[in-house]
Amino acid sequence: MSKPTAPLFVELKILHLTEPFRIAHGTSTERIMLRVRRGEALGEAPFVPYYGDDPQETLRWVQENGDVISESTPRVARLALDLLRHDELGKEAGLPLRELLPETQENISPPPGCRSLGIPEDMNLFREKVRQTAAQFSVLKLKLGSGNLEKDEAIVSLARDAAPHAMIFADANGGWSVEEAVQIIPRLAVHGLEFVEQPVSHKEGIAAWKQLLERMPSPPLALYADESAQTVEDVPKLAGLVDGVNVKLLKCGGIRQAIAMIEAAREHHMHVMLGCMIESSIGVTAAAQLATLADWVDLDGHLYLADDDHAGLTYDASGNLMLPDSPGLGATALNGGAAS
């Protein structure tokens, strides 16, 4: 006799940020999450404004179609359902997800955690925030693409002064034109950055990256792709144009797709950053199960939330990842949150 299947429960959950978070795409003060639950297992995915996914339409789709994952499954639903299935696998086995994935079985430690800092409005407050953040995290990411190249350079200069020993990345989120990128990247290089992420808009396709390298044949900083690298199919197209890619579960659609994207990046001699969106500890902890496969780990989306209702991935006093050993994705409900 087959094991009875618990009903699928689906809902939208609004989580609020501790303060506005500004990047080149716009400013966020809250995040809507799609939550799916079956029995004790839980999956989640965030609605990110620049993707334009409709929360109500996605909710109705899951209510009408259940746990179907196909080409027609909406982006957010696909990830939430994928994480639900992986949470179920781990709970059934009584093991953390990473112990069920052959790719993550090597006995190596994950890279140190990275903290991202949004585009500031008050530079004095920003200086103090950088100083305080660098006291714990040795790796910082600065959001640029403010619309003003002088301000972008000032952000980097101030951060380097406030955190002289930190490893610093810059992330323009496609906020510069090719001409602007050519102008500012050499100016940022003097501040000792490790790389620049998504300097040009993904909306311009591969052409923008080719134009950038035509104008700047020997970039003084390594270049990473984020929005331009959505799925595994995008990775070969970027070969020879970028030094690394940012892999996020929402972009590629799930755990196995993320692993495939990482493997494709390695095949094309690219570095890998494992990233996330602003989301709760459910999604961030799920992504962290793949941390040992990455060169850089930018998993701090839950740290921007004022009302994260789950616990999972944490960081020690030196910014090192601390993953729970609980089965499945590793997230645990807090204060009446749905059990995971």
Please check whether residues 168 and 282 belong to one and the same domain.
Answer: yes
Residue 20 in domain: yes
Please check whether residues 193 and 164 belong to one and the same domain.
Answer: yes
Residue ending a domain, choose from 100, 131, 150: 100
Give me the domain span that covers residue 25: 8-100
Distances (CA, A) of 213 to 170, 192, 204, 240, 244: 18, 21, 14, 10, 15
Q: Is the pLDDT of residue 335 over 90?
A: no
Which are the contacts of 319, defined by CB distance < 8 A and separation ≥ 6?
112, 113, 115, 136, 137, 138, 139
d(CA 239, CA 261): 13
Residue 257, SS3? helix
Give residue-wise pLDDT tens across range 308-330.
999 999 999 999 999 999 999 99
Please check whether residues 195 and 304 belong to one and the same domain.
Answer: yes
Distances (CA, A) of 104 to 100, 154, 176, 206, 294: 8, 40, 36, 31, 10
Residue 75, SS3? helix
Count of domains for the chain: 2
Which are the contacts of 128, defined by CB distance < 8 A and separation ≥ 6?
162
Alpha carbon distance, N-terminus to C-terminus of the chain: 27
Residue ending a domain, choose from 51, 73, 100: 100
d(CA 297, CA 293): 10
Give residue-wise pLDDT tens across range 228-281.
999 999 999 999 999 999 999 999 999 999 999 999 999 999 999 999 999 999
CA dihedral in degrees (57, 59, 64, 69; nearest 10)? 100
DSSP 313-339: -EE-TTS-EE---SSBT--EE-TTPPP
Using alpha carbons only, how large is the chain's radius of gyration in Å? 20
Give residue-wise pLDDT tens across range 174-229.
999 999 999 999 999 999 999 999 999 999 999 999 999 999 999 999 999 999 99
CATH number at residue 280: 3.20.20.120
What is the pTM assigned to this prediction?
A: 0.94
Residues 333 and 287 sit within 8 Å (Cβ to Cβ): no
Band the pLDDT of 115: cuts 50, 70, 90.
very high
Please check whether residues 14 and 116 belong to one and the same domain.
Answer: no
Residue 332 in domain: no
Look up residue 112 and give its amino acid.
Answer: P
